[in-house]
Structure 1
Amino acid sequence: MEGRFCSNKRVAGVEKKDLFHVIHKVPAGDSPYVRAKHLQLVEKDSFTAILWFWKAINAGDRVDSALKDMAVVMKQQDRAEEAIEAIKSFRHLCSKQAQESLDNLLLDLYKKCGMVGEQIELLKQKLMMICTGEAFNGKSTKTARSHGKKFQLSIKQETSRLLANLGWAYMQQENYQAAEAVYRRAQAMEPDGNKACNLGVCLMKQGNLAGARRVLFGVFNHGGYADGEESKAVHRAVELLGEIEKHGSGCTKDVIEVKEEEGILRNEWSPLKSRRLPIFEEISTYRDRVAC
């Protein structure tokens, strides 16, 4: 009986220990990385956690996770520039599988630091990787993870997402012509109310109020692309349409007809060929090849 009791107590102890790791989402063991995660998630000591993440990287202990987790904690402490330098300095120690997530983290850090030029260059690199088949290993879909859940991501979805981010970055530089070309390409691949509103803003900034009005009315009529339900995009479209009305039409009917004859406004979601950047020609060619 005593042996059985001890055995049950031991099993119960193991289960309790495992439950602790599940609840706090920390790995088991006694290594620099485990210590860093315990400090980060259990003791809530971010400063000391960063020191232990450094130790984990230097010791070669789960370097992929240690570098990413350390950068995230640094970002939370408003040390984004340090996080950028850390990723650039140590990403060569990480596996090939970790590079894409490191790029995504860098994009967030660039955005937080206002490093728009670096953000644009990295987005172009990621788009080029899709064009050459490197990002998806020649496949049309890949398994992605968001908030701890796995899902299938298509080339079209990822390309549209990256283009939207690139368009936003160009808008921050007030390069509305480039942003327009990017958003048109993104809309051609995967229409979205938020991207359409940003496209409308780009047109407004260039004085093409008639074109902006048509795009924004499209958002309103489609309910923000939310299955007919109201969305934030609809409200934003209404606000932007109100701004257009305050400034007048800005474009006569004759001018619109001339542009339509030139084929520029033939399709409100199609890219403007005269304004497309070289990389979008490559994306278009690759998209046709994989039949996205």
Structure 2
Amino acid sequence: MARRARAARQRTAAARGAPASPYIRRRLPVLDFLDEEGLRRIEAQVDWIVQDVGVAFRGDPEAQRVWREAGANIDDDDRVRAPADWVRALCARAPRQFTQLARNPDRSVVIGGDNQVYAAVYGPPFVRDLEGGRRYGDLDSFRNLVKLIYMLPHLHHGSFVVCEPCDIPVSTRHLDMLHAHMTLSDKPHFGAITEMSRAQDSVDMAEIVFGRETMDEHCVILGNVNTNSPLLVDKVVTEAIRAYCRRGQGIAVAPFILSGAMGPVSTAASIAQALAEALMVCAFAQLVRPGAPFILGNFLTSMSLRS
């Protein structure tokens, strides 16, 4: 009788935890929308942007120093130009795939290759529920969302800004957000990036959770940044890279382009711009720390020029 009661309690306790779900292996064939000639023309445009047009790295003298010491050319407008072959060789140092360790090893995710890792939303300022309706996010809502994401088996990654907790000071907000992810969930997640001190706090808190030796060998936290399109990388990006990558952690960059406003009207030219911006950010990350994990994201859409 005692054994049956104990077994029932164990089953109940196990049921309360979020069921582990592995990341997904993509088995569908890739759809080739462009032939080799179309791809070659886009790549040639990327090389032209990197070598002749340049991408500005602005507001961070340390980032410009890194580029200059590596041999890149920087003009009076802070535009960095470099041979495309050299930039691509730097990017080749990034791993083709890597594992981001989770606090629960069973929920660690492999990023790259044929793997698909589904993450929660990043950045909404508002929340909505049946009781309170639509409103600005707060810390209670943030914590509840972290718990919900933890319980959803097909979300493999906790993201970071699942809503903006506007009821706490900006200067310390990231600490409460990190604490929620690190204590209310055991899935992998991103860290703060809006200032270098906040990025460094993220890395330091991750070291408390995982330990120095583990961080020396593994990626346990990532920063998620956007370029300031068109063709501008600001200090938010470069400082985040220096904070995360120097500690052996990773960075994800997503060029944010609205075709017709922040990029060319045509899709092909906007893709070339996005790739050029991302390649330059990846190359900078590899100058900071060769082999640093890197994710190339993309936000590319269009806008109505009649609006």
Larger Rg: 1
Q: Which has the higher helix share?
A: 1
Report if TM-score (shorter chain) is over 0.5: no
Task: Tell me which protein shows more strand as a share of its residues.
Answer: 2
Asked which structure has the greater RCO (Cα within 8 Å, sep 6+), the reply is 2
